[in-house]
Amino acid sequence: MKIIVFGATGGVGQSVVSQGLEAGFEITAFVRTPTKLTVSHENLKIIQGNAFNQGEVSEAIAGHEAVVSCLGSSQGMKKSTELQEMTKNIVNGMKEHNVERIIYTASAGVHKELSGLSGKLVMGMLKNPLIDHRAAVDYIQAHELNYTIARPMGLTNQPFTGKYRESSTSVPEKSKSIPRADVAHFILKALRDSRYENTSIGIST
């Protein structure tokens, strides 16, 4: 499968690239700063570009079978529309070039699904990024793409386990975190399994 990864120099994105290449994917990494991507492989193509530039995004998407977004906002916890702006460029590029499949990495809480006092506290702390993620997800769903929304709990740099849990309704019980490498594993699994089409999945170890 030939995929393009946006946000390929981030923690999850780098794992998607490295694990995907090992699994036999042909990967294009769309990055602002190519030197941040340390992987090299005969099946890896690197495109330098800006996800805020519609023309660059659309041109890069042409010829791919699927899109993976591991994009993050540069604004941290501040109010921002960066994620929805970049996602709109991706979705518009996909529609232009008839690419249907997208995996979008959001965050647990994007559907206000975290329960209990601790869940409310987390969603309150992440209020601004979650609003931005939600607008991006809404845009994806409004354009009738074949999507999977990944909703990881707190991201860590712990080693890959392959033993994470999934929930299509909320998040796995008593869940707190998940290694970035496991999120990447889920993304690549979802690309190859039709059961994940048009779903939103909470993931945690």
Q: Which tens digit of pLDDT belongs to each residue from 99-151?
A: 999 999 999 999 999 988 888 898 898 999 999 999 999 999 999 999 999 99
Q: How many CA atoms lie within 13 A of 94 on its CB side?
A: 28
Q: How confident is the model at residue 183 (pLDDT cuts 50, 70, 90)?
A: very high
Q: What are the boundaries of each domain within the chain?
A: 2-204
Q: Is a pLDDT exceeding 90 seen at residue 75? A: no
Q: How many CA atoms lie within 13 A of 107 on its CB side?
A: 24
Give the CA angle between residues 61, 109, 36 to the nearest 5°: 40
**Listed range (48-57, 89-98, 108-117, 177-186) with the worst mean pLDDT:** 108-117
Q: Is 44:21 a contact under the CB 8 Å cutoff?
A: yes
pLDDT for 17-40, tens place per residue? 999 999 999 999 999 999 999 899
pLDDT of residue 76: 83
pLDDT of residue 115: 87
pLDDT of residue 142: 97
pLDDT of residue 30: 98
pLDDT of residue 17: 98
Q: Is 107:133 a contact under the CB 8 Å cutoff?
A: yes
Q: Is a pLDDT exceeding 90 seen at residue 77? A: no
Round the average pLDDT of the chain to a whole number and report it: 96
Mean pLDDT of 158-181: 94
Residue 202, number of CB atoms within 10 A of its CB: 27
Residue in the block written with tokens 């090299």: 40
pLDDT of residue 153: 95
159: alpha, beta or left, given left = phi > 0 and alpha = psi -120 to 50?
Answer: beta
* Strand, coil or helix: 111: coil
pLDDT of residue 175: 85
Task: Look up the CATH number of domain 2-204.
Answer: 3.40.50.720
> Can you give the pTM of this predicted structure?
0.95
Q: What is the CA radius of gyration of the chain?
A: 16
Task: Tell which residue, 122, 51, 134, has the closest CA to residue 85.
Answer: 51
pLDDT of residue 135: 97
The continuous run of DSSP H or E covering 161 comes out as none
pLDDT for 88-99, tens place per residue? 999 999 999 999
